Amino acid sequence: MPLWDWSYAFSILPDLLLALVTTIEITVLGSVVALLLGLVIAVLRRARIPVLDQVLWAFVELVRSTPLLVQVFFLFFALPRFGIELSAFVIGVLALGVHYATYTSEVYRAGIDAVPQGQWEAATALSLPRSRVWTGVVLPQAIPRVLPALGNYVISMFKEVPLLLAIGVVEVVNEARELGSETFRYVEPYTIAGVLFLLLSYPASLLVRRLERRRVSA
């Protein structure tokens, strides 16, 4: 049996590409959750509301200090006990989104803290509404500063999606595993899966590096 069979590789490529679409969908949806929830957490923690700030701090530390796979299993097996029935796909999006939201929240906080204090004082002197201070003064300055770091987390999330094979999500690595188990040929499906990840994640990392260089030179 040859180590590599091109005809077999081409025959399984459509199935792997279809599974890759699922991987990208989970990454995009998880990124939306992570970026929005992370921003909410950062803004609420910046407000330093008693009790809520401590609760958010504890939540962030708990999520960041436990493995993502444990969190995936917890949501997958615990939520049905509370009468919440969600598909493995949705569980994966929520698990990845919430996990990375705890990291993006710290990135946002760093960007917010980097806004000069004079900007806050000027907004206060002009008696701007609190919402206007955030949307018109602070966030337009803070978010561009942290875009490269946010981009890195999105790339990391993309590479973490294969963990969801543990709950049956048919993403590209799980599809490669299933194809291999049908024919007992694993070299081709896993190699193609790795190449597909490389073809997407490497250009994305180059884009993030370009953003970093532009931010430094700006």
CA dist 175 and 173 (Å) reads 5
Q: Contact at 8 Å (CB) between 88 and 76?
A: yes
Q: What is the DSSP string of 57-125?
A: HHHHHHHHTS-HHHHHHHHHHHGGGGT----HHHHHHHHHHHHHHHHHHHHHHHHHHTS-HHHHHHHHH
What pTM, to 2 d.p., does this model score? Answer: 0.91
Position 135: which residue type?
T
CA dist 154 and 35 (Å) reads 9
Q: Per residue of the chain (218 residues), what is the pLDDT tens digit?
A: 678 889 999 999 999 999 999 999 999 999 999 999 999 999 999 888 889 999 999 999 999 999 999 999 999 999 999 999 999 999 999 999 999 999 999 999 999 988 888 877 787 777 778 888 888 888 888 888 899 999 999 999 999 999 999 999 989 999 999 999 998 999 999 999 999 999 999 999 999 888 878 766 65
Going from the N-terminus, what domains does the chain have, and what CATH number goes with each? 6-217 (1.10.3720.10)
171 conformational bin, left if phi > 0, alpha if psi -120 to 50, beta if neither:
beta
The per-residue pLDDT for 217 is 61
